[in-house]
Amino acid sequence: MNTFGKNLTLTTFGESHGPAMGGVIDGFPPGYKIDFDRLYEEVAKRRPGQSPLVTARKEDDRPEFLSGISPDGITLGTPIGFIVRNSDHHSSDYDEMARAFRPNHADYTYIARYGIRDYRGGGRQSARETVNWVVAGALCLQWLQTKGIQIEAVLSQVGPITAGDIFDSLMTSPEKPFSLEVNPDLRLAMDEFVKETKKAGDSVGGKVSCLISGLPAGLGEPVADKLHARLAAAMMSINAAKGFEYGLGFRAPYAKGSETLDNFLPTSAPGETPKTSSNFSGGIQGGISNGMPVFFSVAFKPTPTLMMPVKTVDTEGREMTLNPAGRHDPCVAVRAVPVVKAMAALVVADFLV
């Protein structure tokens, strides 16, 4: 289905080449004054075409809010409906695709699932859908900030250019002022790598890392809605995501118990949330936040849309060659950064409302 969340839900709709994307945010707290300028700014970060790194499609992407907000910008507690028009949706460049099953795309699986698919571009499978998530996430981010919760996300790997274990210092010295900022040289090298990949008509995978700080202890459910299970499901919902890890993540299989205990530090007052001397746990114990920073990474595959001819089959199962057409996103992980942040905000807000 197309609904995320339980207490704060986001239900979305939209095909990339239909009239509009949109959604309904239900359960958003009443009485909160929205800063629309900041919201538009946050949404714009996702917009393609704003940097050499991302696909050339130009879109305004300014959401129109239709309900749930008073004329003076205050949330009413009622559902917030919004739409984002698809300004650029002629589909002449998609004609050939209409009769192809493109490899690593969902053309075939949509047919297997529904018996029909929107042949105008990506349809519902397009990453265009994530504009809905970023709109909803931007609202949540604002509200979370009023609770002292900050969420940051960065691109931490592109091909072989990697920030390494970007969470290292957070795991071993969690008391230090922590920055998720990637070394500028590394950042430049990533940009360079993406540009070269684009020039070659190819694409490359990437990794996005995310830090949630200021989270109070006690969020999450211990069995079926563990905080990290909900984060994992949200992140794996992002187009092209292939993996999720939090805390020690995929270094955990190598670890010894004696070397990864997060020892509690004595508290100075009763009832105070105890800090831990390390944070290999990634801020979650038994599915529930413990008051330490929560951090995780998401792996993304390269987009299968390439600027080179690709051999595949048509909808009748016959061989065909698909020529490059339309836009090309050399590294979807770049565009996923604000989406990761938005989805993290949705998950956290769902537990807090």
Judged by CB under 8 A, which stretch of 49-57, 139-147, 180-188, 219-227 contacts its own copies?
219-227
Nearer of residues 177 and 215 to its own copies, judged by Cβ: 215
Within a 13 Å sphere around the CA of 246, how many CA atoms are in the beta-carbon half?
24
250 is an interface residue for its own copies by CB under 8 A: yes
Among 131, 136, 171, 204, binds its own copies (CB under 8 A): 204
Q: How near is the Cβ of 38 to its own copies at its closest, in Å? A: 21
Nearer of residues 16 and 177 to its own copies, judged by Cβ: 16
Contact pattern for its own copies over residues 54 through 73, marking x by CB under 8 A: ----------xxxxx-xx--
Q: How near is the Cβ of 92 to its own copies at its closest, in Å? A: 14
Comparing C-alpha atoms, which of 14, 38, 268 is closest to residue 138? 38
- How many whole angstroms separate alpha carbon 156 and alpha carbon 209? 6
Q: How near is the Cβ of 278 to its own copies at its closest, in Å? A: 9
Q: How near is the Cβ of 207 to its own copies at its closest, in Å? A: 4
- To which residue do tokens 């992140």 refer? 235
CB 261 within 8 A of CB 273: no
What tokens does 332 get? 């979807």
215: alpha, beta or left? (left if phi > 0; alpha if psi -120 to 50): beta
Among 41, 252, 321, 323, binds its own copies (CB under 8 A): 252
Count CB atoms within 10 A of the CB of residue 48: 20
Q: How near is the Cβ of 289 to its own copies at its closest, in Å? A: 7
Q: How near is the Cβ of 13 to its own copies at its closest, in Å? A: 3
Contact pattern for its own copies over residues 253 through 292, marking x by CB under 8 A: xxxxxx-xxxxxxxxxxx-xxx-x---xxx-xxxxxxxx-
Among 48, 206, 293, 338, binds its own copies (CB under 8 A): 206
CB 197 within 8 A of CB 314: no
Three-class HEC string of 97-136 = HHCEECCCCCHHHHHHHHCCCCCCCCHHHCHHHHHHHHHH
242 is an interface residue for its own copies by CB under 8 A: yes
- How many whole angstroms separate alpha carbon 48 and alpha carbon 44? 9
Q: How near is the Cβ of 303 to its own copies at its closest, in Å? A: 6
126-165: contacts with its own copies (CB under 8 A): 129, 157-160, 162
86-125: contacts with its own copies (CB under 8 A): 101, 103-106, 108-110, 112-118, 120, 123-125
- How many whole angstroms separate alpha carbon 46 and alpha carbon 128? 10
- How many whole angstroms separate alpha carbon 71 and alpha carbon 78? 14
4-63: contacts with its own copies (CB under 8 A): 4, 9, 11-15, 18-24, 26-27, 30-31
DSSP structural state of residue 190: H
DSSP structural state of residue 17: T
293 is an interface residue for its own copies by CB under 8 A: no
188 is an interface residue for its own copies by CB under 8 A: no
The helix or strand, by DSSP H or E, that contains position 336, with its residue range, turns out to be helix 332-352
326 is an interface residue for its own copies by CB under 8 A: no
Q: How near is the Cβ of 192 to its own copies at its closest, in Å? A: 16
Among 94, 143, 167, 246, binds its own copies (CB under 8 A): 246
- How many whole angstroms separate alpha carbon 173 and alpha carbon 182? 18
Nearer of residues 114 and 177 to its own copies, judged by Cβ: 114
333 is an interface residue for its own copies by CB under 8 A: yes
* CA triple 43-284-178, angle to 5 deg: 60
